[in-house]
Amino acid sequence: MRDQQQPLYMIGVAASLCGIHPQTLRQYERLGLVAPTRVGAKNRLYSENDILRVRRVQRLTQGMGVNLAGVEVILRLLDQMEEMKHDLEVQLNEYIEEAERRIAIYSQNTAVPLRKNETLLPVPKIYTRTKLEI
């Protein structure tokens, strides 16, 4: 299976895959809506993720009537939500590992008393970003 972030397509091919003019892709890049990989000073290479992002821009602008400024805000919020989701998954996995470690320790030695001020499982400490940047 191919890596979705691997830069593959020159601007002409990427534009063709998206059904738009290469100049439109350049405009999207200027606006920060898509960030292709630069090879050398001039050449841009687009990944599968870049193509999907351009198609999302098209859906928002053409299908939903959102202007490019609105698309920028929407994409930034979606990116931040994805980062928050990733952070939460990492924290949850850390919690699960800590819980499994504690359970293993207690299950190996049933004679170990549990102190009143100590819990068997740790209370998860979830850290979230305090503010979404719009």
Question: In sequence order, what are the beta bridge partners of 38?
Answer: 44
Provide the pLDDT for residue 113: 67
CA distances from 69 to 24, 55, 134 (A): 15, 16, 11
What is the per-residue pLDDT across 81-107, written as a single tens digit (0 to 9) for each? 999 999 998 988 888 888 888 777 777
Provide the pLDDT for residue 101: 84
What is the per-residue pLDDT across 33-84, written as a single tens digit (0 to 9) for each? 999 999 888 888 999 999 999 999 999 999 999 999 999 999 999 999 999 9
C-alpha 10, offset from chain centre: 24
